[in-house]
Amino acid sequence: MSTTWLTIGVLAVLTAATKGAGPLALGGRDLPTPFMRVIELLAPAILAALIVVGTFTNRDGEVVLDARAAGLAAAAGVLAVNRRSLLGAAVAPRSSPPASGP
């Protein structure tokens, strides 16, 4: 039982530290333009990596082809017909221009 609680406690602290490290070290100021260009492309890079890892690998990290690939193909088909339909309400409010920031 203590193994479980030790895992939870340490993982909670390390998760918070991993999330907070970037803003702690680099936050609150503008970073060089090339750096910001890399950051802009980080979302497509990470989303794509999460998609293939979540679809084509099992929990042991082996590359597999199973029902999840068919599920993703079906989702891709829906998106090809209507690229917004899967998200629907999720994306709609974002069509309005973002509040002007500093």
- Interface of this chain with another protein, residues 2 to 31, rule: CB under 8 A: 3-12, 14-16, 18-31
Report CA torsion sign: 17, 21, 27, 30: negative
* 54 contacts 66 by C-beta, under 8 angstroms: no
Contact status: 61 vs another protein (CB under 8 A): yes
Contact status: 88 vs another protein (CB under 8 A): yes
Structure tokens at 61: 């990290």
Contact status: 34 vs another protein (CB under 8 A): yes
Contact status: 65 vs another protein (CB under 8 A): no
Least distance in angstroms from the C-beta of 61 to another protein: 5
**CA separation for the pair 93, 28 (Å, rounded):** 27
Least distance in angstroms from the C-beta of 46 to another protein: 6
C-alpha distances out from residue 94 to 60, 98, 100, Å: 37, 7, 14
Contact status: 81 vs another protein (CB under 8 A): no
